[in-house]
Each structure stands twice: as structure tokens, then as C-alpha cells.
């Protein structure tokens, strides 16, 4: 039975852990705190609290793993420690494992609406994305796999849906690149099981349909029967820095197929049913 470590069992990590367990992997999940680990005990996955930013802690808890997935999340004040240092610690303590790191398409700085592939420039001009690039370089130096993940949405989580419901939607025609949580989990599992992955081991994880922001907001407005605000934005939107069309062709060429190829399927089949059940966060 192959063994996988999921370092960071949050929104994406938990979905990936369940998928590995269903595929008969032995799954070990590391969480940030004992409280988080306690909430998940008793399932088919072994959870424990391990601080990946501390090298000695990671070393003490290391084991013979076939795959190590770093999908931990971080607040602004701990970005460097969780991503760069955490990745370096995992690489040092699991030298024989295939490492998979969930990075972000934010490392692409393009703002002109151009098409972006894994070969496109990835020299971001803001600090958090620069830290992600540092972590990526550690992964690639250790023959690991980098997943550049687009904006994640899914059950209980949709920034655009939240903004329509709250009347805070900012209309704009920039392109939005998204991917459903379950498709991120399936990409992680797919690449963990792939026998050979040729360098450069970088893959964009995004759906098939980069879409103008205004189109998605209009669709949600009609679907929910809620008008969009006509007031101009009071501040520059946090997610409005880039404007690009990110391609998933490289990952698709290996055989990965997203279950939710566009926002329509993802929202209609997954997110809106969860909303009707009273579950929503940003």
C-alpha cells in the first residue's frame, strides 16, 4: 500500500486526503494544531499536529512516504515560513518521496489578457508570489512537481458568489481563472500516480474556461435573482492585479480531465446546492 503525507489538511488537503484514501493509499495528514487534528480523527486517515515550519519537528515526525503533498495555507504574516521554509523542511526530511507543491497562478504577472502556459514568464512583482517562486525552486531542485493553481472555489467557498450575495461585487472585464476544489484534489492524485513526469515538472491547474469577471457575475445575478450593485468600487479589488488566460493544456495532455470544465458546471452542480444547505464562506 503506497503512503502519502498531506501537509496541510484544509479545504484542498482534506479533499485530496479523502481521494487518496478512496484509492487505497495509506494517508497521513498533518494539521497546524491539535484542535484541527482532533476534529478529523476517527476517519480512515491518520491525522496529527505537526508544524512544518520547524525543521526538527518535521524530522522527528518523518517516515517512509512515497508522496509528500504540501498544500498548507498561510496568513500574510507567515507566508515565508509556511511556504518557503516549510517546503525546504519537507524536502530535507523526505528525500526519497515525490514532492507535490500547490503553488498559485499568481506567480504569472501578465496583465494584458494574453494566454499563459507553463513556459510563460513567472517573475511576479509582489512579495507573496515571489515567496511562492522561492518555494517552487526548492521543489524543482528536488525533482518534485509544482502545481500552479488558479482561484479555488467549491462547496461553501466562492469569492464571486459571496460578493453577489453581499452586494459588494466589483464589475470588470478582466479574465478570471478558476478551478474547483475537487479538480485540484484530482490533479494532485493524478500526478502522484503518474509513473514518469518529465521536467520541467510544472503544471497549471485551472478549468477549461477563463472567463470575463462580468460574465460570471451576470450569470450569478440572474441565477440567484439578485441585482448587481451599480455603485463604483470604493477600493481597488484585492484580486484585480492580473488579467490573463491560463492554459491547462499541458496537464490535460497527460490525461487529466477536470470534472468541472467551467464555472457553470461547478456552480450549478456543486456550489449552489451547498448554498441551499446554508454553507458559504469566502
Q: Has domain 3-158+178-211+244-281 been given CATH number 3.40.50.10860?
A: no
The domain segmentation of the chain, as residue ranges, is 3-158+178-211+244-281
What is the spatial distance between Cα 83 and Cα 87, in angstroms, rounded to a whole number? 6
Report the pLDDT value the prediction gives residue 33, as an integer from 0 to 100. 72
Helix (H, G, I), strand (E, B) or coil at 246: strand
Average pLDDT, the chain: 91
Report the pLDDT value the prediction gives residue 173, as an integer from 0 to 100. 83
Q: How far is CA 267 from CA 94, 104, 155, 231, in A?
A: 38, 21, 9, 25
- 189-220 per-position pLDDT tens digit: 999 999 889 999 999 999 999 999 999 999 99
- 28-81 per-position pLDDT tens digit: 999 987 655 545 544 679 999 999 999 999 999 999 999 999 999 987 779 999
What is the spatial distance between Cα 276 and Cα 218, in angstroms, rounded to a whole number? 20
Asked whether residue 279 carries a pLDDT value surpassing 80, the answer given is: no
Asked whether residue 233 carries a pLDDT value surpassing 50, the answer given is: yes
Is the Cβ–Cβ distance between 37 and 48 less than 8 Å?
A: yes
pTM of the model: 0.93
The helix (run of H) or strand (run of E) holding residue 164 is helix 159-166
Report the pLDDT value the prediction gives residue 62, as an integer from 0 to 100. 98
pLDDT band at 2 (very low <50, low <70, confident <90, very high): very high
Cβ neighbourhood burial of 33 (10 Å; 0-12, 13-18, 19+): exposed
Q: In the chain, what percentage of residues exceed pLDDT 70?
A: 90
Amino acid at each position: 500500500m503506497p503512503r502519502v503525507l498531506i501537509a496541510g489538511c484544509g479545504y484542498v488537503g482534506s479533499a485530496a486526503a479523502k481521494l487518496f484514501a478512496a484509492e487505497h493509499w495509506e494517508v497521513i495528514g498533518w494539521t497546524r494544531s491539535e484542535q484541527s487534528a482532533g476534529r478529523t480523527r476517527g476517519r480512515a486517515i491518520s491525522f496529527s499536529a505537526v508544524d512544518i515550519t520547524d525543521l526538527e519537528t518535521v524530522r522527528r515526525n518523518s517516515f517512509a512516504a512515497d508522496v509528500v503533498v504540501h498544500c498548507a495555507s498561510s496568513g500574510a504574516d507567515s507566508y515565508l515560513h509556511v511556504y518557503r521554509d516549510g517546503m525546504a523542511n519537507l524536502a530535507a526530511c523526505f528525500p526519497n518521496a515525490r514532492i507535490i507543491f500547490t503553488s498559485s497562478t499568481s506567480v504569472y504577472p501578465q496583465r494584458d489578457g494574453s494566454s499563459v502556459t507553463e513556459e510563460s514568464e513567472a517573475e511576479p512583482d509582489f512579495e507573496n508570489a515571489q515567496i511562492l517562486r522561492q518555494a517552487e525552486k526548492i521543489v524543482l531542485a528536488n525533482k518534485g512537481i509544482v502545481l500552479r493553481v488558479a482561484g479555488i472555489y467549491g462547496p461553501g467557498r466562492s469569492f464571486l458568489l459571496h460578493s453577489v450575495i453581499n452586494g459588494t461585487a466589483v464589475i470588470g472585464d478582466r479574465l478570471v481563472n478558476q478551478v474547483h476544489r475537487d479538480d485540484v484534489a484530482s490533479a494532485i492524485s493524478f500526478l502522484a500516480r503518474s509513473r514518469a513526469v518529465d521536467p520541467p515538472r510544472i503544471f497549471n491547474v485551472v478549468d477549461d474556461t477563463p472567463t470575463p469577471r462580468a460574465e460570471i457575475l451576470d450569470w450569478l445575478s440572474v441565477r440567484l435573482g439578485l441585482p448587481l450593485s451599480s455603485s463604483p468600487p470604493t477600493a481597488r479589488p484585492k484580486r484585480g492585479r492580473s488579467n490573463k488566460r491560463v492554459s491547462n493544456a499541458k496537464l490535460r495532455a497527460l490525461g487529466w480531465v477536470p470534472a468541472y470544465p467551467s464555472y457553470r458546471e461547478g456552480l450549478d452542480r456543486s456550489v449552489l446546492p451547498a448554498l441551499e444547505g446554508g454553507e458559504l464562506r469566502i
